[in-house]
Amino acid sequence: MIEVTKTPLSGVVIVKVPVFGDERGFFMETFNQQGFENAGLPSNFVQDNHSRSRKGVLRGLHYQFPQWQGKLLRVLSGAIFDVAVDIRPDSRTFGQWYGIELNDENRLQLYIPPGFAHGFATLSESADIAYKCTSLYKAEDDAGIAWNDPDIGVEWPVENPLVSEKDAAAPLLSQINHSDLKV
């Protein structure tokens, strides 16, 4: 049975699926449409992605607009600090963030619904991340918020992270027209 734990951000949930292990290794069903529906989770994923990053890499904070994406993330190998930021202007938690360590030992998943920015920092020597999306990626909808926005105040557990040029140039949340963030 799928275990769903709420976070302080409405809609962002921790997903724990059963893991069956013995001396040979383990087996886990990471996604089951009926099981997700029964747990009140989205089951309409249309794209799977796989990302690899080395230690100290920080990716984010990314979102798509106007075609928002919900994301279901898990770590295949290594460890990351995964972050969701509520950017829904009408939300009581607008501008607030939630972070959790996802790794290949706790085997937790994080579901981040549309209306949130997402980012992560790699904690291990390298990390492989798999994530499902509720809508297809569109380059023209690609957007981001500064990973170090002081008004958001994410407490990243890495010093001097390695970020892309695009992420380094991302605007502050206060510089984005909030009407452009309607879900």
Nearest-angstrom CA–CA distance, 124 and 102: 11
- Rounded to 5°, angle at Cα 113 from 111 and 115: 145
Distance from CA of residue 103 to its chain's centroid? 13
Catalytic one of 62, 63, 98, 111: 62
Catalytic one of 63, 98, 111, 131: 131
CB atoms within 10 A of CB 143: 18
Q: Are 141 and 66 in contact (CB under 8 A)?
A: yes
Q: Is 62 a catalytic residue?
A: yes
Q: Is 98 a catalytic residue?
A: no
Q: Are 16 and 92 in contact (CB under 8 A)?
A: no
Nearest-angstrom CA–CA distance, 62 and 81: 15
- 3-state SS, residue 141: helix
Active site residues: 62, 131
